[in-house]
Amino acid sequence: MRRKIIAGNWKMNKTPSETVTLINELKPLVATEDADVVFCVPAISLTTAIEAAKGSNINIGAENMYFEENGAFTGEIAPNMLTDIGVKYVIIGHSERREYFAETDETVNKKVLKAFEHGITPIVCCGESLAQREQGVTIDFIRTQIKIAFVNVTAEQAKTAVIAYEPIWAIGTGKVATTEQAQEVCAAIRVCISEIYDEATAAAIRIQYGGSVSAASAAELFSQPDIDGGLVGGASLKPDFGKIVNYK
């Protein structure tokens, strides 16, 4: 039985001081023993967030990380900077990073490998555009994203990975995918993982759905056989996130 994982993606929201306030507000609301809870916050607030979340069930994750160890990469964050302060998760290849910051399947793969090298769990994002869905190429496109993201990743590493399926047309639009659409793609991702590796790896890897998840849609989405939780943007900044975490 896979353990659910419900992660908030704060994106570029909340100052460090606002982070303390929000974590203190959400702490009692997201308390659960039934799922892993992760708050992915802006880099500048990571240390503050880790401090604020101490003693609670909240894990802190980063929203991005670079694939080199150190050096002349102005503005980037190295993996050991994250592990040094206790960051356990990192979102890799979010569609906003792909769209606005020129991330590609190849850089996603480099970052995934680097995260594993440092013992950080990557939340690997994939998802099709509206045009791709309408052209009927969703599954082919997602399979390509997944295959490239996992090049040279071992089965043992892949078992611990988290994949977030986030249709781009559902992100921040209030247009949540139907349960059938979300389940169909998450199941296809699991088949793809079983083809790259084996059944055991496919059975272990956790696959989230993301894109306008709300307190109203969480229960139905998260009870699908291949959906192991969610990556939540807008609603993760509100008390509603407590309802999403305790969706049952």
State yes or no: residue 229 binds ligand PGA (CB under 6 A). no
Q: Does 242 bind ligand PGA (CB under 6 A)?
A: no
CA distance linking residue 77 with residue 75, whole number of Å? 7
Side chain identity at residue 40, one-letter code: C
Q: Are 197 and 158 in contact (CB under 8 A)?
A: yes
Is 234 assigned a ligand-binding role in the annotation?
A: yes
User: For ligand PGA, what does the binding mask look like between residues 122 and 161, x meaning CB under 6 A?
Assistant: ----------------------------------------
Whichever of 38 and 77 has its CB closer to ligand PGA, that residue is 38
Active site residue 94: yes
Query: Catalytic site residue 166?
Result: yes
Who contacts 62 (Cβ-Cβ below 8 Å, separation ≥6)? 40, 41, 43, 46, 77, 82, 87, 89, 90, 91
Nearest approach, Cβ of 234 to ligand PGA (angstroms)? Answer: 4
Residue among 124 and 231 whose Cβ is closer to ligand PGA: 231
C-alpha–C-alpha distance, residues 7 and 61, integer Å: 9
Q: Taking a C-beta distance cutoff of 8 angstroms, is the pair 190, 226 a contact?
A: yes
Given the residues 96, 103, 128, 166, the one annotated as active site: 166
Nearer to ligand PGA (CB atom), residue 50 or residue 91? 91
Between 18 and 84, CB nearer to ligand PGA: 18
- The reply to whether 8 sits near ligand PGA by the rule CB under 6 A is no
Q: Considering only residues 198 through 227, tell me which ones interact with ligand PGA, judged by CB under 6 A.
A: 210-213
Residue 62's nearest CA partner among 127, 11, 3 is 11
Within positions 39 to 68, which residues make up the interface with ligand PGA, using CB under 6 A? none
Please identify, using beta-carbon distances, which residue of 120 and 232 lies nearer to ligand PGA: 232
Q: Which of 17, 70, 131, 172 binds ligand PGA (CB under 6 A)?
A: 172
Residues flagged as binding site for substrate:
9-11, 172, 212, 233-234
Chain contacts with ligand PGA (rule: CB under 6 A): 9, 166, 171-172, 210-213, 231-235
**Residues catalogued as catalytic:** 94, 166
Residues flagged as binding site:
9-11, 172, 212, 233-234
